[in-house]
Amino acid sequence: MNTTETEPARVAAPGQRTVADLMSSPVVSTHSEVSLADAGRAMMAAGVGSVVVTGPPGVPVGILTERDMVRAIESSADPDQATVGAWMTAAPEVVPPDTPIDDALDRLAQHGYRHLPVVDDGALVGIVSMRDLMRVAQVRPAGEAAVDVPRGLKGVVVTETSIGDVRGTEGFFHYRQYSATELAEERSLEDIWALLFDGALPASTDESASFIGEAVARRDLPSGLERLLDDVAIGAAGSGPLDGLRTMLSAVGAAERMRPVYDLDPTQRRADALRLTAVTPTIVAALHRRARGERPITPRPDLGHAANYLWMCNGVEASPEIARAIEQYLILTVDHGFNASTFTARVIASTGADMAASVVGALGALSGPLHGGAPSRALDTLDAIGTPDRAPQWIRDAVERGERIMGFGHAVYRTDDPRSLLLRRIGQQLGGDRIDFAVAVERQIVDTLAELKPGRQLYPNVEFYAGVVMERCGLPPELFTPTFAVSRVIGWCANVLEQADDNRIIRPSARYVGPEPPQPVPAAP
Active site residues: 410, 463
User: Do residues 115 and 28 touch, judged by C-beta distance below 8 A?
Assistant: no
Q: How many CA atoms lie within 13 A of 241 on its CB side?
A: 28
Radius of gyration over alpha carbons of the chain, in Å? 26
H/E element, 334? none
Describe the crossing of helices 462-472 and 320-332 by its angle, rounded to 10 degrees: 160
Helix (H, G, I), strand (E, B) or coil at 525: coil
Rounded CA separation 405/409 (Å): 8
- The CA distances from residue 58 to 12, 48, 84, in Å, are 26, 19, 16
Pairing of strands 115-120, 123-129: antiparallel
| CB contact at 8 A, 124 and 117 | yes
CA distance 497 to 197: 8
Torsion over CA of 115, 121, 122 and 128, rounded to 10 degrees? -10
Q: What letter does residue 221 receive in the DSSP assignment?
A: P
- Phi first, then psi: what are they for 175, rounded to 5°? -105, 115
Classified as helix, coil or strand, 281 is helix
Q: What is the DSSP letter of 337?
A: S
